[in-house]
Amino acid sequence: MKYEPGNIAASFGYLPSGGLQFFCSLGALFSKDRFIKFHALQSLLYWILSILSIWPFLWVLSKTVGLDLGGIGGILIFAYLGVVFFVWPFIFAAKAYGNKTFYLPILGIASKKIVHYEEKASVAS
């Protein structure tokens, strides 16, 4: 497996770093490498969508089970936030660092079309 400097740039956009990944992904959108540009756009769309999806999720929980953080509502909130903000981003970052292209549903296909990204043919080694 060959690691290139661009893999670090592509993977950094997925890592939860208190908003820093947002600015790094914006900067990576101006890269000439389509692999970096694809992952930068896909990670931006992922973070924007995941942050926007928190509010409806919390609203539904508050109306159905209540926002009692000591009860089932708290467990559901922390499980959702843990998966969305800590588990998936590290999996995505590991795949990007490993020079693998993966497509998130809807977001990946949209990113591929916007960036005009074509996967390189894999060479058997």
Nearest to 61 by CA among 51, 75, 50: 75
**What pLDDT shows up at residue 71?**
67
- What pLDDT score was predicted for residue 69? 58
As a whole number of angstroms, the distance between CA 72 and CA 86 comes to: 21
The mean of the pLDDT values for the chain is: 76
> Which pLDDT belongs to residue 125?
42
Domain edges within the chain: 5-114
